[in-house]
Every structure is written in structure tokens, then in C-alpha cells.
Structure 1
């Protein structure tokens, strides 16, 4: 007699096992199980594990980009969109703030990378960050200038405070961009800014965002010369103005230190190109 695979024949000496039947005398129908958290996560494409901070931050930024791309196509009103953007702002702030160590400490045990490819990538990545900060500064300068014209003194003070923070961030971005030995700059980084890799006369003076920032900063300084603000608010504005000037001094000092470390003879690529061009003209004459 045929036997069901996996089913052991019952011995005549074993007690008879009760047969379970349904109360409605019918073959039971499989009942759908109640939804679980796993079902919910699967539907909304949520994966739960123990991500490291980098994975978490990248996930936050990817989601932010997707929402920003779709938000203009929704029927939300301005206040609802502002609420969504404010939420994204706080989430981004929290994600980036998590990268700050709870307490100041030394460089991680693995230490900084100084390979030629790492240095060149950091040099360019740091300059992109620098440009991004300058762009934010330029928009903040426009807003602060508009606040001066509208006599919105508290907004002026907040604008100056934000500019000072951005200036310090830009100074740190310069340190980040040049965080490798001067020997690596000389052998692997600086040559990439010369022919045949770049046009002759390559220079930081070609930085458009920096030119705009410098012009707007001069305009703001002139506008802040005489303000008809109430004495208490005027004192706060002057304090923030002084703090901003101090941040500018720190920036200039930091830039000079980087130049001195990386180019000890002080000969920039632009100066070298100009000198060669003048020498060539003199020879022709």
C-alpha cells in the first residue's frame, strides 16, 4: 500500500490519535494572518537593521532629494510646503550634528589618508564645499542688505551672526581641502592646475562666488556705516559686526598659513604665468 512521504505508519499498539474536525463540518479555509510590522515595512520599502552613521546620513539625503523633487508637483499650499521643508531642515541638522564627537578628541586611530588620489579628491571636494558655503553667504548677504534697507534690525543682527558662522565654516573648508602634506601638494596636486591639465594662469582669483561675496561684503560694510536703529539693537548689531570682522581676519590668516606651507617661495601659478609672459614679450621686443 502506498504511503505518504514523511508519515510514519501507526503501530497497532499506539493509542489512537483524535481526528480534529471543524465545527461547521467543512474543510477549514486558511485564514489570512493579521498584518504585522514586517508587512508594513515591506509595503513602504523600509528596511530595518543597524546602519552605521554614514548609511543613515546617506539615506536621509536620498529621501530629502526625492521629496524635494516631488514637492513642486503636489497640491500642498505654501504653509504646508514650508512645514515639510522645515521638517527636512531639522532632520538634516540632526543627521549632520550626529557627526560631531560628544567631546573634543584627537584624530581617529586610523589617521588621515595622504595618498595622491586621496589628496587630489579632497582638494577638489573641499573647494566644492567652499563654493557651496560662499553661495550661501552671498544669499545671506542679499537678505541682510535687504533687512538694512527695510530697517529690520533684528534680521540684520541675525544675518551678521549667520555670516560669521559661514565665514568660520569656509575657513574650516579650506583646512579640509588642504589636509595633506605639502610634499603631496607639490608633487601630485599643484601640477594638475598647470598645462596640459589646465589653462595657463590658473588662479583662485577666478573664483566667481568669492568675487561676488567680496563685492557684497564691501557694500554691506558701507550700508552698516550709519544706522538709525534703536540704541539697544544698534549695540547688538555692532557686536555682531565686530565678530564678523574677527572671523574675516581668521580666514585671511588661515589662507596665508596654507599658502606659506604649500608654496613656501610665494610664487603662485598666476604670478609664474605672468612673469613668463612678460619675459617672453621682452625677448620678442
Structure 2
């Protein structure tokens, strides 16, 4: 489906401290300092050219062979290249993914509300503002005003499926980074501020999932699902192969126990839990929209599982396990 890979920073190289994230925002702000706020498609193209790294160090295998094979297959399918480099590559890739989504919204519209579309492509700007950027006054990337017609052909559906997932992966990275910064912050106010960004990115990641599936289910059956089966990919292609979610889960497992008690037991953390529920519910929504209420998932089909469970039910079970574990961690904090 892809034409040019999105160079996402390898998950092992993501920023882990507030200082590293501040360094990233400073570097990105310096890159775009000579550009005015983008007000046209031409401006957005120029902004993308400035942000997208022309050269980057490709990240080699870093996992066990079985994990690396699964992760790499998933990356390749959605047009993701893993890079090594400085922390600013994380933020640059996030902004590039937002720009690509803005172009997708201009090309073929969305059922998301104007406010939801703005949130979908606004996370990178929020991080720049948090880093005291000179652009603190507004959102750098904006969706087009008019969005009315859904994708109507196979090509535009494929582009939406891809751009929505690529933005979703970038959002998962942002959740991981802001969780790490919340832990690294030394004050309750600092931790809560980064956790507010985590809430934002959980919400926008959920919107990215909805956006990725925002087209006629018949187009999915006819054009997209077949590409996720052999010989195009290995048997049992699954969202469990998402590298960024694998690392996100590790960041979430001990989050509450590493925050100050007032933050772990406070309103912002409860908002985070609710946003995380929205994120997992969005995955269930995609399963249901594309036949998961009656059919098994590709992974279940490949394993020849005959449990009487549908793909949507299995996604719901998985979400419940993850959320219960998170809640248990908070109770223990």
C-alpha cells in the first residue's frame, strides 16, 4: 500500500526523560523557525519536507528472532521504517504522520467531528507548546474545514487504512514518551502535566483507529483484508505484532507505582484510565465494523481456533485484561 516509509524512531531509542523531550522540542522548533504557520497545501508540503529526515540510520534487529520477524512484518505492511537517532526524530515523525493525515482528510473526508479531527492532528503541536516553543499560541497542523464524503474506492480506502495506522503508531509512541516523562518529573504538578499529555494521546490514538476504519466495510472485505493474508503476509497477521504497543504495555505496567501518591490517586490519573478505555474500545470498534461481531480474527483463523468466540469478543477480552491489570497497579500504589 505504501509509497514512502515513515521513519519512526525505534522504540528502544524513544526519549525517557523530561530533558530529552525538551531537547526534541527545541530541535524541532529550530527546524521550522523560518516557516510561517502553514495555511495551504503547499505550506504543508514544505513543512513535511523540512521535518521528514532525508537520511537516517536504519535500526537493525533488536529483539529475539520470533518477535523481530513479527514486528518487522507489521512495520513493512504499514510502511514504517525503524530508525536510530536523536530524540527529535520521534517528534518529527509524529508531525509528519499528522501532516499525512491532514492530506488524507483533504483528499477523502471523515465522519469525525471538527473537534475530533483537530485533536487527531494536534498532538505534536501540544508537545511543542509544552516545550515552551515560540509557536505556543496555536496548533501547527490543522485539518481541512470541509470533510463530508467517505472513501469511495479501493485506493482511497487503502490510503486511509495506512495513514490512520501510521498515525496510531506515532500516538502510541507519544503515550510511551509522556508516561516516561511523567515518571521522570520530580513534582506532582510536573507529573500531572505530562500525564495530561498522555490522556490527550490516548484519546487521539483512539480517534486514529476510528479514522483508519472510516470507510465502507465492503471495501475492507474486498480490498484490504485479502492483503493481510498469505502470500502477502504470514499466516495469522495481527495487531499483536504492533511493535509500539508491545513497548507501551511495558511502560504502563508499573506506571502507577512509580508516580507520586497524590498523582497516582488523583483526578488526572483517573482521566488517563478513562482515556485508555477509549483507546482499547476503539480497537473493538474496528473489529466490529469489519465483521468481528460474527467472524474470527485473522489470527484465530490461522490457529484454527474453534472456541465459539468472535474476533470482537476476543479483542474485548484482551482489553479487559489489560485494563484490569492497570487498575490493580493503581490500587497497589
| Match 1:261 to one of 282, 285, 289 | 289
Bigger Rg, structure 1 or 2: 1
For the Cα contact (< 8 Å) 2:210–2:285, is it kept in 1? no
Q: TM-score, normalised by structure 2?
A: 0.52
Matches within 5 A, 1:113-124: 113-124=151-162
| Match 1:138 to one of 158, 166, 176 | 176
Aligned-pair distance for 1:235? 6.8
| Match 2:269 to one of 238, 241, 244 | 241
Which residue does the alignment assign to 1:281? none
Q: TM-score, normalised by structure 1?
A: 0.60
Which residue does the alignment assign to 2:141? 96
Q: Structure 1 residues 92, 136: CA separation in 2 closer, same or farther (over 3 Å shift)?
A: farther
Matches within 5 A, 1:197-216: 197-216=232-251
* SS of residue in 2 equivalent to 1:90: coil
For the Cα contact (< 8 Å) 1:202–1:269, is it kept in 2? yes
Aligned-pair distance for 1:68? 11
Question: Hey, what's the Cα distance between the residues in 2 that align with 1:96 and 1:195?
Answer: 38
Aligned-pair distance for 1:59? 2.0
For the Cα contact (< 8 Å) 1:60–1:95, is it kept in 2? no
Aligned-pair distance for 1:183? 1.1
**1:191 to 2:226 alignment:** yes
- Structure 2: state its 5+ residue gaps: 1-33, 57-85, 87-127, 307-333
- Structure 1: state its 5+ residue gaps: 1-45, 73-82, 228-233, 278-285
Which residue does the alignment assign to 2:302? 273
| Match 1:56 to one of 23, 43, 46 | 43
Which residue does the alignment assign to 1:23? none
Which residue does the alignment assign to 1:6? none
For the Cα contact (< 8 Å) 2:236–2:298, is it kept in 1? yes
Q: Structure 1 residues 65, 113: CA separation in 2 closer, same or farther (over 3 Å shift)?
A: closer
Which residue does the alignment assign to 2:73? none
Equivalent residue pairs, number: 198
| Match 2:195 to one of 160, 164, 174 | 160
Q: Structure 1 residues 243, 152: CA separation in 2 closer, same or farther (over 3 Å shift)?
A: same
Question: Hey, what's the Cα distance between the residues in 1 that align with 2:154 and 2:227?
Answer: 11
Deviations 1:139-171 (A, max 9, x none): 212211222xxx421111011100000001101
Aligned-pair distance for 1:259? 0.8
For the Cα contact (< 8 Å) 1:60–1:92, is it kept in 2? no
* SS of residue in 1 equivalent to 2:135: helix
Question: Hey, what's the Cα distance between the residues in 2 that align with 1:195 and 1:221?
Answer: 41
| Match 2:207 to one of 165, 172, 176 | 172
Question: Hey, what's the Cα distance between the residues in 2 that align with 1:255 and 1:67?
Answer: 33
Q: Which moved more, 1:88-97 or 1:189-198?
A: 88-97
